[in-house]
Structure 1
Amino acid sequence: MDDGSNYAFIGVDVHKEQHTAVVIDWWTRVLGEFTFESKISVYPEFIKELREKIPENLNLIFGLEDVGGNGRSLAVFLKENRYIVKEVNPSYSSSERKSYPTTLKNDTWDAKCIAEVLVKKIDILKEANPNDLYWTLKQFVYRRDSIVKSLSITKIQLHEQLTKSYTSYKKFFAEIEGKTALAFWEKYPSPSKLKNITTKELKEFLLEASNNSCSTKKAESILSFIAGDGDTFREYQEHRDELVRSYVRYIRFCREEIEELESHMKKIISKLDYKLETLTGVGIVTASQIIAEIGDINRFKSADKLAKYASVAPTNFSSAGKGRDVKSKQGNRRLNGVLFLLAKQQVQLTKNTGKPRNPILYDYYLRKTGERKSKSKVPALICIMRRLVNIIYGMMKNKTEYVMEYR
């Protein structure tokens, strides 16, 4: 950059309700401190007050730790008004804070540390790029993940209730949370609701619930299992029955929400024109997760940079010419988790044919497992993850489809 003495460095500690900014010069002398509300309508006034305190000959450079969450609206405002905005990695400001003999922790001090990182690392800090499309996609991905987690918990709770009412409930249906099964649990949450219900009546209910796929034999087997379980009726059964119905309703709601969210995710990634779904094991959900965590692929100059960001590349620790590579625990752990599951899918064998889903990566996996004496398959899977990073980087960079070719 140009002579740093021509700039004022503004570190901003962002929060939901208010932000704190500290301005320093090239020699880290404090020029001003500001606290203002986290509202777009307030930002112009903040800039006005900033200009009144800062010498006119100084250009402004802003540094924010969080440009995708609490600081997103401020970052967007500053970029739209053509200010330089840098994204400060929280690890940098944390290290700066700990470098002092006495460690402090308050908004003003945090903002000052961010400003000092700006001065020291201005040439390596990335430009903030709060892209609405990637940000929106990430919100959908996180919302879906939250609902999936809640759905899993609700399924466990449903099983706990069914275990107490229907001892043999797992034998009733092939899918315990299938469409027909849910209709049955809602209509008959406990055996007490089946009293005086004939085989014919139960069969007619099951036929309607299953679109005519259940037979008289299914109704007979269910009633037979219930008779074999004995009397499971307990006090306050009516209230527990309502719990089962509540779980059923919530499972249906979650599934509808997940389907709706996925339809929007599909529309969003179609605008980006990436073709990640052509890669083995990648559907709309996985593609959305990868894109949401990576963001604009042009942020990364190479696949090596992306590998470090995904915590796939090892970190070297050495001293006096001696050292070793160790597994990195830094980087984006969510992206790392997605890549790990995707790597496992690449080396899976299909149930019907017994053939690998991705023959090329499967052969590579076998070579890597053969090279290592350890019984653990994780190191070989990490090698697959690294190969996937190269593939994904190339596909996103060039917007090309995945072509499985031996080379």
Structure 2
Amino acid sequence: MSELEKDLVFAGVDAHKDTHTLCLLDHMGRAIGTFRFAADAKGYDALAGKIGGPATCVGVGVEGTGSYGAGLTRRLLELGYCVHEVMVPGRARRKPGRPKSDPADAEVSARQVLARVNLSKPKDQSGWTEELRQLMIARDRLVQATSAMINAAKSLIVTAPEDLRSSLEGLSRKNLRTALSTLDPAAGGIILALGSLGRAWELQDREADAIEERMKRVLEANAPALLAVYGCGTVSAAALAVAGGGNPERLESEAEFASLCGVAPLLASSGKTERHRLNRGGDRRANRALYQIAVTRMSYDQRTKDYVAKRKRDGKSKKETIRCLKRYIAREVFRALRRPLEVKGPSWKNLRPARQALGITLVEVGKALNVGFQRVSYAETGRLMNAKFLEEYDAWLKSQLRIVG
């Protein structure tokens, strides 16, 4: 064994909010020692100095690279270290008699690097995907708060005086919000309560819409291919982009991405029985996005409707069919993540100028394509990123241009 190999070390880090615990192992797997550092910029540099140079460090296993260990992971990658995300067993899976402490968890991380087991490449949480993640958190909280406002308002309306209750019951969501927000703020009692809820509801709706519009602009600039996936709206595209991270190339295959999203069935065979069971793991937000795309396609895409009918004839239930659809959609999304700027077909930005140049109204287009004029408007403004419909609309406009010419 060369002198260089004898100098090699394996590192493991147990990350927490205020401190990070480092464990170092030598080339034989013997513990060199454990050390604790502050979870700040100085602590990151001190921890890297204790490991030594990147040339003598085989790898650093960090628990929680997407949470408490995110800052340390970014700094170690900047310094040139090979960083792995490790999974330390939870309490239920911990071996009997094994101690639970920060140094013990750091040592487990280091030994996983030494054994090359349960390692994965950390997700890049910088750039536009990190901005999307932050925007999604803010939007989700606003939507949840809005739901709470609506429930509180409706519960108050049930017990309101008859004249007020009869004027508010049966209104649509939008009309109810408008009616509540315009109630006299100088009044007292239930009118003041409902008016306050209505104005807060309206404010939160505007904030949520503004955040969603910003998310859409980020996606249009960095991953238009995701928006072009049939049935994939802004929120679903953002969830899938965040799941892929800023470095989707770390996922070696579409099967790996499907497993990440929890749509890859797991083997559950025994003896002569060969079967698969439902995967309840993975990124549940991305899983929900795939579900939403599948449900949308089942309602509006004829090819999907035909597939559902075929599966039904084969004896598959609706839930089983949706699971199959989610697996197929994950394959399509994976291709979009690997080639985020590659969009096939016409751009929505060219549709409105072409229509206006021909002097055709939205209603005329809707009648010609057998859709509502609002759907045409959504396509022209980028709110409907449906590649199939965009191609159909663009082909119809070109046919009209040939007729005029």
Does 2:199 align with 1:249?
yes
For the structure 1 residues 177 and 7, does the alpha-carbon distance in structure 2 shift closer, same or farther, using more than 3 Å as the test? farther
- Structure 2 counterparts to residues 82-121 of structure 1, below 5 A: 82-88=80-86, 90=87, 93-94=88-89, 98=93, 100-121=95-116
Change (3 A) 1:251 1:65: same
The residue aligned with 1:79 is 77
After TM superposition, give the deviation of residue 152 of structure 1 in Å.
Answer: 0.7
Aligned to 2:288: 337
- Unaligned 5+ segments in structure 1 are 194-237, 349-356
Amino acid aligned to 2:325: I
Partner secondary structure for residue 267 of structure 2: strand
Q: Is the radius of gyration larger for structure 1 or structure 2?
A: 1
Residue 329 of structure 2, aligned match among 385, 388, 391: 388
Amino acid at match of 1:80: E
1:132 aligned partner: 127
1:369 aligns with 2:312: yes
Deviation at 1:398, TM superposition (A): 2.8
Q: Tell whether the 8 Å contact from 2:177 to 2:202 is kept in structure 1 after alignment.
A: no
Give the 3 Å change call, closer, same or farther, for CA 254–18 of structure 1 in structure 2: same
What do the CA deviations read for 1:232-254 (whole angstroms, capped 9, x no partner)? xxxxxx34443223212221221
User: Structure 1 residues 12 and 97, CA, compared in 2 at 3 Å: closer, same or farther?
Assistant: farther
How high is the sequence identity, in percent, across the aligned residues?
22
Residue 40 (1) aligns with residue 41 (2): yes
Q: Residue 135 and residue 6 in structure 1: after superposition, are their counterparts in 2 closer, same or farther (change >3 A)?
A: farther
Q: Determine if contact 2:236/2:290 at 8 Å carries over to the other structure.
A: no
- CA shift, 1:179, in A, is 5.3
Structure 1 residues 126 and 97, CA gap change in structure 2 (3 angstroms): farther
- Post-superposition shift, 1:297? 2.6
Q: Which residue in the other structure is 1:260 paired with?
A: 210
Q: Tell me which residue corresponds to 1:11.
A: 12
Q: Secondary structure at the match of 1:275?
A: helix
Higher helix share: 2
Instruction: Give the secondary structure class of the aligned counterpart of 1:289.
Output: helix
Taking the aligned partners of 1:180 and 1:99, their CA distance within structure 2 comes to: 55
Partner residue, 1:229: none
For residues 138-188 of structure 1, the C-alpha deviation after alignment (integer angstroms, 9 at most, x for no partner) is 11112211211111111100111122113324446444655532334x328
C-alpha distance 78-170 of structure 1, shift in aligned 2 (>3 A): same
Q: What is the CA-CA distance between 1:36 and the residue it aligns to?
A: 1.3
Q: TM-score, normalised by structure 1?
A: 0.75
Distance 1:344 1:397 in 2: 24
2:248 is matched with which residue? 297
Q: Answer whether contact 2:15 2:68 (CA < 8 A) is retained.
A: yes
> Which residues in structure 2 correspond to 1:233-248 (within 5 Å)?
238-248=188-198
SS at match of 1:34: strand
Matched, 1:23 2:18: no
Residue number among 271, 278, 290 corresponding to 2:221 in the alignment? 271
Structure 1 moving runs of 4+ over 6 Å: none
Q: TM-score, normalised by structure 2?
A: 0.75
TM-fit CA distance, 1:10: 1.5
Q: CA RMSD in A?
A: 3.0
Contact 1:19/1:38 (8 A) holds in 2: yes
Structure 2, unmatched stretches of 5+, are 345-386, 390-405
Query: How many angstroms apart in 1 are the aligned matches of 2:55 and 2:233?
Result: 53
Contact 2:239 / 2:286 at 8 angstroms: preserved in 1? Answer: yes
Aligned length: 340
Answer with 291-300 or 238-247: which moved more.
238-247
Residue 310 in structure 1 maps to residue 308 in structure 2:
no
Q: 1:187 aligns with which of 180, 184, 204?
A: 184
Go from structure 1 to structure 2 and tell me whether the alpha carbon gap of 1:130 and 1:10 turns closer, same or farther (over 3 Å shift): farther
